[in-house]
Amino acid sequence: PGLCAFLYRECCSLIQIANTLGDTQAIPVLEAFAENLSTVVESAWNEEAAIYFDWDRDTHNSSPGEKLGEITGPGLLPLGLEFNQPVRLLRRLETSLNTRGRLSIFVQGKSPTAKNRIERITDDQFKWHFRQGRYTGENVYQSLEQIEIKGLEPEDQVTIYSVGYNTQDHSLLMPLWAGIPSEERARILIERTITNTSIIWRPYGIPACPRTLEAPEAMVCGSVNLPRNSLVGEGLIRYVYREQAAELIKSPCVIFFNRQKTLIRN
C-alpha cells in the first residue's frame, strides 16, 4: 500500500504537469495508471482491523504468518502440510558459533499449480545479523512435504515460518496521505486506528510499528520517523482533521528540540 500510494501521488503530479503543458495525450494514460493503483490499494483494506495490509507479490493475499516447524542440527524435518492459500516461506537460522559451515537446505513441496518443487537454499542467500540469519523464499507453496538440512552444527537451529502480511507499520498509513480512500473510509482509518491510543497514537508521535516486538533488533519499531509522521499529518489535513494533525506534528518536534537543547547544554 505504501509503494502504490507514492506511485499514485506521482501520477497525480504528472497529470498536473501535463495539464500545465497542455499535453492532453498523456493525461488519459496517467489517469488509467492512477485508477489502477487506487483500486489495488483499496482491495488491501481490512475492515476488521480498520487499516490497509501488505499483500504477497505472487499470490496477492494478505495471509497471517505462522510457525511451521523447527529442527536443531542437521537432519530431516517432515511436515506434510497443505495450505488453504499458497504461502511464502521464511527461514530463520540461529547458530551457536561465529563461524558457519557449508549450509544447504532442501525444501520439497508442491507449487500452486500442483507441480512438484524442490528448492535448494545455501548459506550465502541468508541475510546475517550476528549469529542469526534470515531468508525469505522466492517461491510460494501450496503444500510442504519435508525440509532437509545439511551442514549445520549440532546446536544450530532452523525455524520455518510462513510469511505474514498482517503486521502493521507506518507505511500502511500512506494511502491517507495520497488521498486514495473515500471520506468514510478515511474517517474509519483515522478514528479507529490512527488516533486510537491503544493502537497507533502516542504522545511522541506515530511509531514505526504500533506493537513493539520482543527481539532486540526490533527496537527500531518504537522509533518515530519525522518525515513519515509529517506525511500522515498532511493526510489528516486533507481530510479536515486539522487539530489531530497539529497534535501529531507538535509532539515529536517538541521532544526532538528539547533533546537538542539538553545535548547542547551538556
pLDDT 10s digits, 46-79: 999 999 999 999 999 998 899 999 999 999 999 9
CB pairs under 8 A, 24+ apart, for 187-191? 187/239, 188/50, 189/50, 189/51, 190/236, 190/239, 190/241, 190/244
Nearest to 84 by CA among 69, 66, 70: 66
pLDDT of residue 129: 77
Highest mean predicted confidence (pLDDT) among 60-64, 216-220, 238-242: 238-242
Q: From CA 93, how far away is CA 157, in angstroms rounded?
A: 6
| 22 pLDDT higher than 90 | yes
Q: How many CB atoms lie within 10 A of CB 156?
A: 22
> Any residues with CB less than 8 A from the CB of 19 and at least 6 apart, and which?
27
pTM for the whole structure: 0.81
Grid cell 524442490 is found at 118
pLDDT tens-digit profile of 110-166? 999 999 999 999 888 888 877 788 999 999 999 999 999 998 888 889 999 999 998
Instruction: Determine the 3-state secondary structure of 95 from DSSP.
Output: coil
pLDDT of residue 124: 85
Cα R_g (the chain), whole angstroms: 23
Q: From CA 114, how far away is CA 146, in angstroms rounded?
A: 16
For the residues of 213-258, what is the DSSP string, one character each? Answer: -SSGGGGGGG-B-HHHHHHHHHHHHHTT-HHHHHHHHHHHHHHHHH
Q: How confident is the model at residue 252 (pLDDT cuts 50, 70, 90)?
A: low
254 alpha carbon, distance to own chain's centre: 29
Cell of 8: 499514485
* Continuous segment of H or E residues that includes residue 140: strand 132-150
| 97 pLDDT higher than 80 | no
| 43 pLDDT higher than 90 | yes
pLDDT of residue 19: 95
| 177 pLDDT higher than 70 | yes
Q: From CA 183, how far away is CA 179, in angstroms rounded?
A: 9
Q: What is the mean pLDDT of the chain?
A: 89
DSSP for residue 56:
-
Nearest to 137 by CA among 96, 179, 106, 168: 106
| 103 pLDDT higher than 90 | no
